Amino acid sequence: MKIWHVSDTHCKQDQLIIPAGVDTVIHSGDASNQQDPFLNEAELHRFIDWFADLPIKNRVFVAGNHDTSLEKGLITADYIRSRGIVYLNNEDIIIDGLKFWGSPFTTAYGDWAFMKARHKISRIWETIPDDTDILVTHGPPYNILDSTYNRDNKIELCGDTSLMKRIMNLNLKLMCFGHIHSTHDIRNAGTRTISGSSTIYSNGSCCDDGRNLALTSHGNIIEIS
């Protein structure tokens, strides 16, 4: 399976270069931008129209913390699925023999969508099936393409430690996420592996972390056997 992974497009999906020859596209959240769910609804509808029309066989979507109209029910999971999109919210699906499991939840930071307190979010990760092949979350695991500046302008790792702990007990082929963007001097967008594991980690964030959320990446291409 040849996968195109994107995330954090923040209404700039029309600027993406769509690759040829991919079987599956995965978007791991923050397709929209506005915090107000009523303003957010129009943004997310535009994304869904674009995503549904992509000339790619399988289209998988997991929401992010900016996708507030989805959390509030202004746009429903049934509607997204009616457009031929696989929408995952703490659930799994088998596509071409590979088990996907997806969740939009991240640890609480500000007043956004799909957030859980850090001491509670591990309950979600405990439900990830042991035989998952491809894991799609909005946020990253700890210490994997998750560096950014905090409010004191110091670099910190923002990934979820409980998610990383669960991943260490799985035999994943691919882990997709976004949420933590690249900055002017930190590159999070891209893929990596870690010693002792065959899992490919992909941060598909397409926009930078500046005020204008400029598009600085067109996602990642990964081939899974």
In this prediction, residues 156-179 reach a mean pLDDT of 96
**What are the boundaries of each domain within the chain?**
2-223
Fold for domain 2-223?
Purple Acid Phosphatase; chain A, domain 2 (3.60.21)
Summarize pLDDT for 182-212 with one digit per residue, the tens.
988 889 999 999 998 999 999 999 999 877 8
Nearest to 139 by CA among 169, 102, 186: 102
| pLDDT at 12 (0 to 100) | 98
Summarize pLDDT for 90-143 with one digit per residue, the tens.
999 999 999 999 999 999 988 899 999 988 999 999 999 999 999 999 999 999
Strands of 190-192's sheet, edge to edge?
91-95, 98-103, 134-137, 174-177, 200-203, 190-192
In this prediction, residues 165-183 reach a mean pLDDT of 96
